[in-house]
Amino acid sequence: MSSIKKIPKFKSEDEERTFWATHDSTEYINWKKAKKVMLSNLKPSLKSISLRLPESMIEELKLLANKKDVPYQSLLKIFLAERIGEELKI
């Protein structure tokens, strides 16, 4: 790899965004020396969806959630996450 260029100072986020959209970061950053960082305090973006379920299924979910002392929507998210993980073999 040739020498690393110095990253310019930006006047705004828009200016920086434009810069990175038109420049190759490998010319400015040695990615081989990069370290993985866990940002555990970040909350994932959420998107509301409409989901039609049989009333009986919702009632059963509420019963299970009540036994586990969690909101039923949270329990549904846990169930979905577990199943997605199984399907993706995470």
Predicted confidence band of residue 55 (pLDDT cuts 50, 70, 90): very high
Residue-range domain boundaries for the chain? 1-34, 55-88
Is residue 12 pLDDT above 70, yes or no? Answer: yes
Token pair belonging to 43: 């909350």
Q: Which tens digits make up the pLDDT trace of 13-49?
A: 999 999 999 999 999 999 888 888 888 788 888 899 9
The H-assigned helical ranges of 11-52 are 13-22
pTM: predicted TM-score of the whole model, two decimal places? 0.52
Confidence of residue 53 (pLDDT cuts 50, 70, 90): very high
